[in-house]
Amino acid sequence: MKSWGPPLLLLILAVVLYFALPFNLAFLTRILIMVVLVLSLDLVLGYAGIATLGQAALYGAGAYAAGLFAIHVWADPVAGLFVGAGAGAMLAFVSGLVLMRTQGLTLIMLSIAVASICLEIANKARDVTGGADGLRGIRMEPVLGLFAFDFIGKTGFWYALAVVAVVFVVLALLSRAPLGLSLRGIHESPERMAAIGVSVYWRRITAYTIGGGIAGIAGALSAQITQLVSLESFSFTLSAEALIMLILGGTGRLYGAVLGTLIFMFVHHWAAANDPFNWLFVIGALVLAVVFFLPKGVISAPPAITRLLKGGRHAGS
Protein backbone atom coordinates (compact mmCIF):
# COMPACT_ATOMS: atom_id res chain seq x y z
CA MET A 1 0.00 0.00 0.00
CA LYS A 2 2.88 2.26 0.88
CA SER A 3 4.14 2.41 -2.73
CA TRP A 4 0.89 4.08 -3.81
CA GLY A 5 1.55 7.04 -1.50
CA PRO A 6 3.82 9.13 -3.72
CA PRO A 7 1.71 8.77 -6.89
CA LEU A 8 -1.42 9.71 -4.94
CA LEU A 9 0.36 12.76 -3.57
CA LEU A 10 1.28 13.72 -7.14
CA LEU A 11 -2.33 13.35 -8.23
CA ILE A 12 -3.43 15.62 -5.40
CA LEU A 13 -0.67 18.05 -6.37
CA ALA A 14 -2.05 18.16 -9.94
CA VAL A 15 -5.53 19.00 -8.65
CA VAL A 16 -4.12 21.64 -6.30
CA LEU A 17 -2.14 23.18 -9.17
CA TYR A 18 -5.31 23.35 -11.26
CA PHE A 19 -6.94 25.55 -8.66
CA ALA A 20 -3.77 27.43 -7.71
CA LEU A 21 -2.81 28.40 -11.28
CA PRO A 22 -6.11 28.75 -13.13
CA PHE A 23 -4.56 31.03 -15.74
CA ASN A 24 -1.74 28.64 -16.57
CA LEU A 25 -3.74 25.65 -17.71
CA ALA A 26 -2.07 25.55 -21.11
CA PHE A 27 1.29 25.27 -19.38
CA LEU A 28 0.09 22.67 -16.86
CA THR A 29 -1.35 20.62 -19.71
CA ARG A 30 1.99 20.74 -21.51
CA ILE A 31 3.61 19.38 -18.35
CA LEU A 32 1.12 16.51 -18.26
CA ILE A 33 1.85 15.65 -21.89
CA MET A 34 5.58 15.69 -21.19
CA VAL A 35 4.98 13.45 -18.16
CA VAL A 36 3.49 10.81 -20.46
CA LEU A 37 6.47 11.08 -22.80
CA VAL A 38 9.00 10.89 -19.96
CA LEU A 39 7.15 7.92 -18.46
CA SER A 40 7.49 6.11 -21.78
CA LEU A 41 11.19 6.89 -21.78
CA ASP A 42 11.41 5.62 -18.20
CA LEU A 43 10.01 2.26 -19.26
CA VAL A 44 12.47 2.03 -22.14
CA LEU A 45 15.55 3.47 -20.45
CA GLY A 46 14.93 3.20 -16.72
CA TYR A 47 13.45 -0.31 -16.67
CA ALA A 48 14.72 -2.04 -19.79
CA GLY A 49 18.03 -0.16 -19.90
CA ILE A 50 17.69 0.72 -23.58
CA ALA A 51 19.69 3.94 -23.99
CA THR A 52 17.81 5.91 -26.64
CA LEU A 53 17.90 9.51 -27.79
CA GLY A 54 15.14 9.08 -30.32
CA GLN A 55 11.98 8.98 -28.26
CA ALA A 56 10.73 12.00 -30.26
CA ALA A 57 10.36 9.75 -33.32
CA LEU A 58 7.65 7.76 -31.56
CA TYR A 59 6.07 10.87 -30.07
CA GLY A 60 5.96 12.55 -33.47
CA ALA A 61 4.57 9.45 -35.16
CA GLY A 62 1.74 9.41 -32.63
CA ALA A 63 1.15 13.15 -33.05
CA TYR A 64 0.96 13.09 -36.85
CA ALA A 65 -1.12 9.88 -36.87
CA ALA A 66 -3.63 11.31 -34.39
CA GLY A 67 -3.71 14.66 -36.19
CA LEU A 68 -4.28 13.15 -39.63
CA PHE A 69 -6.85 10.72 -38.22
CA ALA A 70 -8.77 13.62 -36.66
CA ILE A 71 -8.73 15.62 -39.89
CA HIS A 72 -9.52 12.89 -42.38
CA VAL A 73 -11.32 10.12 -40.52
CA TRP A 74 -12.86 10.78 -37.13
CA ALA A 75 -12.29 13.62 -34.69
CA ASP A 76 -13.06 11.62 -31.58
CA PRO A 77 -10.27 12.20 -29.01
CA VAL A 78 -10.21 8.75 -27.42
CA ALA A 79 -10.16 6.98 -30.78
CA GLY A 80 -7.34 9.37 -31.72
CA LEU A 81 -5.36 8.26 -28.67
CA PHE A 82 -5.57 4.65 -29.81
CA VAL A 83 -4.47 5.61 -33.30
CA GLY A 84 -1.54 7.59 -31.87
CA ALA A 85 -0.59 4.68 -29.62
CA GLY A 86 -0.81 2.30 -32.57
CA ALA A 87 1.39 4.48 -34.76
CA GLY A 88 3.99 4.92 -32.00
CA ALA A 89 4.02 1.22 -31.22
CA MET A 90 4.26 0.23 -34.86
CA LEU A 91 7.21 2.52 -35.55
CA ALA A 92 8.88 1.32 -32.34
CA PHE A 93 8.37 -2.31 -33.32
CA VAL A 94 9.69 -1.91 -36.86
CA SER A 95 12.67 0.26 -35.90
CA GLY A 96 13.18 -1.86 -32.79
CA LEU A 97 13.85 -4.94 -34.94
CA VAL A 98 17.07 -3.21 -35.99
CA LEU A 99 17.78 -1.02 -32.98
CA MET A 100 17.54 -3.77 -30.37
CA ARG A 101 20.30 -5.74 -32.07
CA THR A 102 22.72 -3.00 -31.02
CA GLN A 103 24.00 -1.65 -27.75
CA GLY A 104 25.34 1.54 -26.19
CA LEU A 105 26.61 4.25 -28.50
CA THR A 106 25.50 2.49 -31.69
CA LEU A 107 21.99 2.26 -30.33
CA ILE A 108 21.97 5.94 -29.38
CA MET A 109 23.20 7.00 -32.82
CA LEU A 110 20.68 4.78 -34.59
CA SER A 111 17.81 6.05 -32.47
CA ILE A 112 18.75 9.63 -33.34
CA ALA A 113 18.89 8.60 -37.00
CA VAL A 114 15.36 7.17 -36.88
CA ALA A 115 14.03 10.46 -35.50
CA SER A 116 15.93 12.48 -38.15
CA ILE A 117 14.56 10.31 -40.94
CA CYS A 118 11.02 10.78 -39.64
CA LEU A 119 11.63 14.54 -39.44
CA GLU A 120 12.81 14.65 -43.03
CA ILE A 121 9.89 12.55 -44.27
CA ALA A 122 7.42 14.84 -42.50
CA ASN A 123 9.23 17.85 -43.98
CA LYS A 124 9.17 16.48 -47.52
CA ALA A 125 5.61 15.17 -47.48
CA ARG A 126 4.32 18.73 -47.42
CA ASP A 127 0.99 17.85 -49.02
CA VAL A 128 0.14 15.46 -46.22
CA THR A 129 1.86 16.93 -43.17
CA GLY A 130 1.96 20.65 -43.98
CA GLY A 131 5.78 20.51 -43.89
CA ALA A 132 7.48 23.29 -41.93
CA ASP A 133 4.19 25.16 -41.57
CA GLY A 134 2.89 22.36 -39.39
CA LEU A 135 -0.24 20.23 -39.60
CA ARG A 136 -3.17 22.53 -38.98
CA GLY A 137 -6.94 22.33 -39.08
CA ILE A 138 -7.35 19.74 -36.31
CA ARG A 139 -10.80 20.26 -34.77
CA MET A 140 -11.59 17.77 -32.03
CA GLU A 141 -15.03 16.57 -31.04
CA PRO A 142 -15.89 16.69 -27.32
CA VAL A 143 -14.18 14.10 -25.11
CA LEU A 144 -16.53 11.08 -24.80
CA GLY A 145 -19.08 13.24 -26.55
CA LEU A 146 -19.57 15.25 -23.35
CA PHE A 147 -16.73 17.70 -22.70
CA ALA A 148 -15.88 20.15 -25.47
CA PHE A 149 -12.34 21.58 -25.63
CA ASP A 150 -12.51 25.17 -24.40
CA PHE A 151 -10.36 28.24 -24.94
CA ILE A 152 -8.95 28.36 -21.40
CA GLY A 153 -8.00 24.69 -21.53
CA LYS A 154 -10.02 23.20 -18.65
CA THR A 155 -11.13 20.16 -20.63
CA GLY A 156 -7.63 19.73 -22.03
CA PHE A 157 -6.20 19.65 -18.52
CA TRP A 158 -8.59 17.06 -17.08
CA TYR A 159 -8.36 14.97 -20.21
CA ALA A 160 -4.57 14.95 -20.08
CA LEU A 161 -4.59 14.26 -16.34
CA ALA A 162 -6.89 11.27 -16.84
CA VAL A 163 -4.56 9.91 -19.53
CA VAL A 164 -1.52 10.42 -17.28
CA ALA A 165 -3.26 8.54 -14.46
CA VAL A 166 -4.20 5.62 -16.69
CA VAL A 167 -0.70 5.41 -18.20
CA PHE A 168 0.84 5.58 -14.74
CA VAL A 169 -1.33 2.77 -13.38
CA VAL A 170 -0.67 0.59 -16.43
CA LEU A 171 3.07 1.12 -16.10
CA ALA A 172 2.97 0.49 -12.34
CA LEU A 173 1.18 -2.82 -12.91
CA LEU A 174 3.52 -3.66 -15.76
CA SER A 175 6.61 -3.06 -13.64
CA ARG A 176 5.33 -5.61 -11.10
CA ALA A 177 4.32 -8.13 -13.74
CA PRO A 178 6.69 -10.85 -14.97
CA LEU A 179 7.56 -8.77 -18.03
CA GLY A 180 8.59 -5.79 -15.85
CA LEU A 181 10.67 -8.00 -13.59
CA SER A 182 12.42 -9.70 -16.49
CA LEU A 183 13.16 -6.26 -17.98
CA ARG A 184 14.80 -5.27 -14.72
CA GLY A 185 16.78 -8.47 -14.88
CA ILE A 186 17.89 -7.69 -18.43
CA HIS A 187 18.91 -4.22 -17.30
CA GLU A 188 21.06 -5.68 -14.51
CA SER A 189 22.63 -8.50 -16.48
CA PRO A 190 21.54 -9.51 -19.97
CA GLU A 191 23.91 -12.48 -20.05
CA ARG A 192 22.42 -14.01 -16.95
CA MET A 193 18.87 -13.53 -18.21
CA ALA A 194 19.85 -15.18 -21.46
CA ALA A 195 21.39 -18.00 -19.47
CA ILE A 196 18.12 -18.72 -17.65
CA GLY A 197 16.31 -18.95 -20.95
CA VAL A 198 14.87 -15.47 -21.51
CA SER A 199 14.87 -14.17 -25.05
CA VAL A 200 16.57 -10.87 -24.31
CA TYR A 201 16.13 -9.54 -27.84
CA TRP A 202 12.35 -10.07 -27.97
CA ARG A 203 11.82 -8.81 -24.42
CA ARG A 204 13.63 -5.62 -25.34
CA ILE A 205 11.54 -5.25 -28.50
CA THR A 206 8.39 -5.74 -26.43
CA ALA A 207 9.47 -3.06 -23.97
CA TYR A 208 10.42 -0.67 -26.78
CA THR A 209 7.10 -1.26 -28.53
CA ILE A 210 5.07 -0.60 -25.37
CA GLY A 211 7.21 2.50 -24.72
CA GLY A 212 6.56 3.55 -28.33
CA GLY A 213 2.82 3.16 -27.81
CA ILE A 214 2.92 5.37 -24.73
CA ALA A 215 5.09 7.97 -26.45
CA GLY A 216 2.55 7.84 -29.29
CA ILE A 217 -0.21 8.59 -26.77
CA ALA A 218 1.77 11.63 -25.57
CA GLY A 219 2.08 12.83 -29.16
CA ALA A 220 -1.62 12.25 -29.82
CA LEU A 221 -2.53 14.22 -26.68
CA SER A 222 -0.37 17.09 -27.83
CA ALA A 223 -1.91 17.04 -31.32
CA GLN A 224 -5.44 17.03 -29.94
CA ILE A 225 -4.99 19.66 -27.27
CA THR A 226 -2.84 22.17 -29.16
CA GLN A 227 -4.73 21.36 -32.42
CA LEU A 228 -1.42 21.52 -34.19
CA VAL A 229 1.46 19.21 -35.07
CA SER A 230 4.80 20.67 -36.04
CA LEU A 231 8.10 19.27 -37.23
CA GLU A 232 9.38 20.09 -33.74
CA SER A 233 7.64 16.96 -32.47
CA PHE A 234 10.38 14.93 -34.21
CA SER A 235 13.20 17.18 -33.07
CA PHE A 236 16.32 16.03 -31.30
CA THR A 237 15.76 18.74 -28.68
CA LEU A 238 12.56 17.04 -27.57
CA SER A 239 14.28 13.66 -27.13
CA ALA A 240 17.14 15.29 -25.27
CA GLU A 241 14.87 17.32 -22.99
CA ALA A 242 12.83 14.24 -22.13
CA LEU A 243 16.05 12.45 -21.23
CA ILE A 244 17.21 15.36 -19.07
CA MET A 245 13.87 15.39 -17.24
CA LEU A 246 14.12 11.67 -16.59
CA ILE A 247 17.69 11.89 -15.31
CA LEU A 248 16.73 14.90 -13.21
CA GLY A 249 13.96 12.96 -11.51
CA GLY A 250 15.69 9.62 -11.34
CA THR A 251 15.47 6.68 -13.74
CA GLY A 252 13.74 3.39 -13.00
CA ARG A 253 11.12 4.89 -10.73
CA LEU A 254 7.81 6.01 -12.18
CA TYR A 255 7.30 8.95 -9.85
CA GLY A 256 10.91 9.96 -10.46
CA ALA A 257 9.92 10.57 -14.08
CA VAL A 258 6.93 12.64 -13.00
CA LEU A 259 8.95 14.65 -10.50
CA GLY A 260 11.75 15.34 -12.96
CA THR A 261 9.32 16.61 -15.57
CA LEU A 262 7.56 18.84 -13.04
CA ILE A 263 10.80 20.38 -11.78
CA PHE A 264 12.32 20.88 -15.22
CA MET A 265 9.21 22.41 -16.76
CA PHE A 266 8.56 24.70 -13.81
CA VAL A 267 12.12 25.98 -13.64
CA HIS A 268 12.15 26.34 -17.42
CA HIS A 269 8.89 28.29 -17.37
CA TRP A 270 9.79 30.46 -14.43
CA ALA A 271 13.27 31.27 -15.70
CA ALA A 272 12.12 32.00 -19.25
CA ALA A 273 9.31 34.24 -17.99
CA ASN A 274 11.56 36.22 -15.67
CA ASP A 275 14.46 36.65 -18.02
CA PRO A 276 13.59 35.74 -21.59
CA PHE A 277 17.14 36.59 -22.63
CA ASN A 278 19.42 34.54 -20.35
CA TRP A 279 17.19 31.84 -18.92
CA LEU A 280 19.14 28.95 -20.44
CA PHE A 281 21.82 29.60 -17.84
CA VAL A 282 19.45 28.67 -15.01
CA ILE A 283 18.52 25.39 -16.70
CA GLY A 284 22.20 24.56 -17.17
CA ALA A 285 22.98 25.28 -13.54
CA LEU A 286 20.05 23.15 -12.35
CA VAL A 287 21.09 20.13 -14.40
CA LEU A 288 24.72 20.46 -13.33
CA ALA A 289 23.73 20.73 -9.67
CA VAL A 290 21.56 17.62 -9.83
CA VAL A 291 24.18 15.60 -11.69
CA PHE A 292 26.87 16.59 -9.19
CA PHE A 293 24.98 16.36 -5.91
CA LEU A 294 22.22 13.85 -6.66
CA PRO A 295 23.57 11.60 -9.39
CA LYS A 296 20.57 9.28 -8.99
CA GLY A 297 18.08 12.09 -9.53
CA VAL A 298 15.84 14.15 -7.29
CA ILE A 299 14.04 11.11 -5.87
CA SER A 300 17.32 10.14 -4.21
CA ALA A 301 17.27 13.41 -2.25
CA PRO A 302 15.61 12.11 0.96
CA PRO A 303 18.13 9.27 1.53
CA ALA A 304 20.98 11.61 0.57
CA ILE A 305 19.84 14.18 3.13
CA THR A 306 19.43 11.52 5.82
CA ARG A 307 22.97 10.37 5.12
CA LEU A 308 24.20 13.94 5.35
CA LEU A 309 22.41 14.51 8.69
CA LYS A 310 23.81 11.33 10.21
CA GLY A 311 27.15 12.75 9.20
CA GLY A 312 30.38 10.84 8.98
CA ARG A 313 29.16 7.73 10.81
CA HIS A 314 29.06 5.24 8.02
CA ALA A 315 27.33 2.74 10.22
CA GLY A 316 28.81 -0.54 9.29
CA SER A 317 29.36 0.25 5.63
Partner 1 sequence: MNRFISAALLAAISTAVSGAAFGDTIKVGVIAPFSGPFAIYGKQYQEAIETYVAQNGSSAGEHEIEFIYKDVGGPNPDQSRSLAQELLIRDQVDYLAGFTFTPNALAVAPLIEQSQTPTVIFNAATSSINKESDFYLRTSYTLWQVSAPLAEWAYDQGMQTAATTVTDYGPGIDAENAFKAAFEAKGGKVVDAIRMPLSTTDFTPFIQRVRDAAPDAVFTFLPGGPPTFTYTKTYNENGLADAGIKFLGTAETEEVNLQGLGDDAIGLTTAYHYSGDHDSEANAAFKSKLNELFPDAVANWASVGAYDGTHLIYQMVEAAGSDGPAAVQSALGLEWESPRGPVSMDPEARTLVQNVYIREVERDAQTGELVNREQGIIATVGDLGWTQ
Site residues (vs partner 1, CB under 8 A): 23-27, 30, 123, 131-134, 136, 151-153, 222, 226-228, 230-233, 272-273, 276-280
> 82: number of CA atoms within 13 Å, CB side?
5
Of residues 154 and 184, the one with the C-beta less far from partner 1: 154
- In 3D space, the residue among 69, 92, 96 whose CA is nearest the CA of residue 81 turns out to be 69
Of residues 132 and 162, the one with the C-beta less far from partner 1: 132
Rounded least distance, CB 126 to partner 1, Å: 8
Rounded least distance, CB 239 to partner 1, Å: 15
Of residues 30 and 187, the one with the C-beta less far from partner 1: 30
Rounded least distance, CB 12 to partner 1, Å: 23
Rounded least distance, CB 11 to partner 1, Å: 23
Instruction: Collect all residues with Cβ–Cβ distance below 8 Å to 229 and sequence separation of at least 6.
Output: 60, 63, 64, 67, 129, 130, 134, 135, 138, 219, 222, 223
Task: Report how far apart, in Å, the C-alpha atoms of 108 and of each of 53, 111, 170, 310 are.
Answer: 6, 5, 27, 40
- In 3D space, the residue among 296, 301, 272, 209 whose CA is nearest the CA of residue 30 turns out to be 272
Rounded least distance, CB 70 to partner 1, Å: 14
Instruction: Collect all residues with Cβ–Cβ distance below 8 Å to 262 and sequence separation of at least 6.
Output: 31, 35
Of residues 54 and 180, the one with the C-beta less far from partner 1: 54
Q: Where are the beta strands (DSSP E) in the chain?
A: none
Of residues 149 and 208, the one with the C-beta less far from partner 1: 149
